[in-house]
Structure 1
């Protein structure tokens, strides 16, 4: 009997320990709470934007013409949508709610279509949301602005003289010239000879160098203030909203281009130098843990591998929000329009105007001194009559 009693006591203790362990684990899980997510991705596979002279495969050979999303591109984004559903399904309550989700795309066919293909997998309708039993799909709004007015996603932004000046400086820089030297003369091949594995590798490397030079190599931080830093600032503002008790968007999706993904990553200084592949996705997550907010970043650039963790230089992978903001502050523009207009030519003009102003001011001061000291003849005569 005593043995049985001891056995029962041990069983009770074991059960109690398990319950305590379960509660402790539950608290540990709940201690890190996902509060906000932003995803920025490149569109899926597309037909060529343009082609080389005398290419036997003309635009008419492509079902929808140049620059359009292909069926492979649709499948790539549907797969990405399925992944996002697996990763964030519980966070998003497994259903679309307009007050929680916002999607924006550049005003380009392939990015708009990529977002829609993605959303078809991310938010399939269920229950009362099924409006057509033979079509498990629901329309979800994708917002956009005209490409000419896009100052968030359609990078590199146009109408920014200072950025154009920086691009010109980059191409002339010693570092760029050193990197481009091995590739000079590559474009003299005819179709039969240049379409080799080695040549295609060279062209890919040139594309990567072109993209790298667009935002980096020369004055990277200043370039980022005029490009990717704008998007960094937008995302940070959404994160700040997520720390407040008021209603806020939980999930924001940006459908854009390789220049957008790389521009964002260059501003964050986490770019790996490789052209972002189709449907590549940069994820930024905001967590609340023990009354403090943390930012985590991931990069999904291959379907057979979990997203790669990214670490903001100067911080840990799970970076405190305040520290994150402090570290990215140098690439956030204070006044984008003004900073875009401050070119070297403007600086020279300002110096010339400043010198001219000083000269004119000096002459006026001398004249004023003479006027006060001696005064005009008619005033001197009137003084004598007093």
Structure 2
């Protein structure tokens, strides 16, 4: 009997724990993913902080960067092929791909797509005469392919781009915001920038004294950040001899990305330099509440549009792929409260470090994935993965968030009018970059206001005419009465 009671209590406890777990982790059908990633490994951008200048491919994607995204594409295919029912052959209603207008981001997207939509699955040609396949050109080349449209069954997939000034979603902190340069300039003069530079002055001095790096004597945080960016590019180029040479000057340079976050390595020079790189990124672009909220507003607006359009059957894309930069990943991370310059400073000082503080820089091919689910009650919830690891979201310890909650959370992290905050006006006081629908709303509103004014003026005019008519009639009546009295007095 005692054993039965114990078994019954254990069973109850197990069911209770299971019920709690199920409540915390709702089960649902995966409907859509929105993936945003940084480009793969690239050549360094310039020579402003490093003397070795034997290259001409500044900022271009390396072969290693192509491979990184090809593997990421295959990895994501393995993860999502069944729940998203990914087709082997590209279908334009399944995936939408957009990139910033840089070679390295466009090529990264193409490399990842090659890992998702493989060779031998391209479109085929059936029973079509050669006269419909040959371009109007003399002595055209011959190909061996008779089955696929392109040799090997290669699948060309469209990648959409916009000019920098129009790319608000992925580059909301750059050219699309007129006030961005002004905000950045103010940040460099701020007390926080000055204080944090003092905290890193020892490592700055050590790097200045090492002639290997060719830094100027008054090098600051920004100069060190440029150096780190260059060394990261050098490291991922994979030249072992070169990396060993640099490691003689930078303690811990050969640490892996996983080792960067280990407490026992925190005082290594390379970890500190990485922390400088990340801190400068946030102190420059996402320091003030206005910068933080404004920059990420277009991204969150579009993200919610993706979700709502799919839910309401306005669009059918199950995969939205966005190719961008480390600054974009950092922008979204701070908007999701995964990191901030404030928490990075606490990491530097090793004091009261919050649990939601990603303090390593967004490395090559770093990615954030938003997953949209539908539960058994037809309610929608999301999960967010940073480099494949689920994150706590919506200001809680939960690794999921219902869409209604997420909408509320987004309101606290954004501004109501991006263009207004950025001061995007021209000489005619018209907001630049308005969408057609937004412009139509403004024009409609102006037409209504104008119509109301016209009607009001007509009412005033008619009222004035009636008043004048009544006054004249009154005066005429008084005049006649007076004449009658005059005539009467003369009888």
User: TM-score scaled by structure 2?
Assistant: 0.57
Structure 1: how far apart are the matches of 2:122 and 2:65?
Answer: 30
Aligned match for 1:192, one of 187, 192, 212 = 212
Aligned match for 1:312, one of 368, 374, 393 = 393
Q: Per-residue displacement from partner, 1:292-318 (whole Å, max 9, x unpaired)?
A: 100100011xxxxxx111122424211
**Is 1:281 matched with 2:372?**
no
Q: Per-residue displacement from partner, 1:90-109 (whole Å, max 9, x unpaired)?
A: 21433321012100000100
Q: Which residue of 2 aligns with 1:24?
A: none
**Is 1:172 matched with 2:209?**
no
**Is 1:101 matched with 2:188?**
no
Aligned match for 2:316, one of 241, 248, 262 = 248
Structure 1: how far apart are the matches of 2:210 and 2:122?
Answer: 59
Structure 2: how far apart are the matches of 1:342 and 1:207?
Answer: 30
Q: CA deviation at 1:323?
A: 0.3
Matches within 5 A, 1:40-79: 40-52=36-48, 55-60=51-56, 65-79=57-71
Q: CA deviation at 1:53?
A: 6.5
Residue 152 of structure 2 aligns to a residue in which SS? coil
Structure 1: how far apart are the matches of 2:105 and 2:74?
Answer: 18
Q: Which residue of 2 aligns with 1:259?
A: 327
Instruction: Describe the shift of the 1:93–1:30 C-alpha distance in structure 2 as closer, same or farther (beyond 3 A).
Output: farther
Matches within 5 A, 1:111-122: 111-122=105-116
Structure 1: how far apart are the matches of 2:395 and 2:311?
Answer: 23
Instruction: Describe the shift of the 1:167–1:53 C-alpha distance in structure 2 as closer, same or farther (beyond 3 A).
Output: closer
The structure with the largest alpha-carbon Rg is 2
Q: Which residue of 2 aligns with 1:21?
A: none
Q: Which residue of 1 aligns with 2:132?
A: none
Root-mean-square deviation (CA), in Å?
A: 2.8
Q: CA deviation at 1:136?
A: 4.7
> Is there any run of 5+ residues in structure 2 with no aligned partner, and where?
1-24, 125-147, 215-245, 252-268, 340-357, 426-491
Aligned match for 1:146, one of 143, 147, 163 = 163
Check whether the contact 2:69–2:111 (CA below 8 A) recurs between aligned residues: yes
Structure 1: how far apart are the matches of 2:177 and 2:150?
Answer: 50
Check whether the contact 1:173–1:218 (CA below 8 A) recurs between aligned residues: no
Structure 2: how far apart are the matches of 1:242 and 1:180?
Answer: 47
Matches within 5 A, 1:236-385: 236-271=304-339, 272-289=358-375, 290-300=377-387, 307-315=388-396, 316-341=398-423
Check whether the contact 1:42–1:257 (CA below 8 A) recurs between aligned residues: yes
Instruction: Describe the shift of the 1:342–1:42 C-alpha distance in structure 2 as closer, same or farther (beyond 3 A).
Output: closer
Check whether the contact 1:211–1:275 (CA below 8 A) recurs between aligned residues: no
Structure 2: how far apart are the matches of 1:297 and 1:238?
Answer: 15
Structure 1: how far apart are the matches of 2:121 and 2:191?
Answer: 62
Check whether the contact 1:293–1:320 (CA below 8 A) recurs between aligned residues: yes
> Is there any run of 5+ residues in structure 1 with no aligned partner, and where?
1-28, 301-306, 344-386
Query: Which runs of 4 or more aligned residues in structure 1 lie more than 6 Å from their structure 2 counterparts after TM superposition?
Result: none
Check whether the contact 1:176–1:217 (CA below 8 A) recurs between aligned residues: no
Check whether the contact 2:51–2:213 (CA below 8 A) recurs between aligned residues: no
Q: Per-residue displacement from partner, 1:50-81 (whole Å, max 9, x unpaired)?
A: 02477243234xxxx11000000000000000
Number of equivalent positions: 304
Residue 177 of structure 1 aligns to a residue in which SS? helix
